[in-house]
Amino acid sequence: MPLIDGTADDLTEVARAARAWHDGAALNDIRRAAPFVHLTGRFEVPDLDPAHLTESEWQSLRQEAGELEYSWQETYQALIEAAHAEPTLRALYPFTSHWALRFSTTTRPRLTVVGPCLTASDRV
């Protein structure tokens, strides 16, 4: 799960970000050291409370779905938003694999998979 991402034209900036990560810098410090870095918001939960981790993961999935540049991005985003709108699913920890949306009663790293496996398709 990416905690940071970004695109850089200068490999020196990438090396600066990698060095900061290697040295154990906080995410915000990595961002300051390498301005191209984008903080994904994943796991930026100080108390590691499962409810807050679940909320953070939903926020990250929704943001990521809105930023995708695939032909079926709107369908995938609609799937994520529809699942988030359902209180029963929103209470579960969401995760994706191969563009399938799954749910767990526990957070990473030990997922307890429950419920449906939802997928988005661009086919009618």
What pTM does this model have?
A: 0.69
pLDDT of 67? 81
Tens-place pLDDT, residues 62-117:
988 888 777 778 889 999 999 999 999 999 999 988 889 999 999 988 899 999 99
pLDDT of 123? 58
How would residue 41 be classed by pLDDT, with cut points 50, 70 and 90?
A: low
The 8-class DSSP code of residue 118 comes to E
Lookup: tokens for 5:
């991402």
pLDDT of 122? 63
Q: Residues near 109 by Cβ (< 8 Å), separated by ≥ 6?
A: none
The 8-class DSSP code of residue 104 comes to E
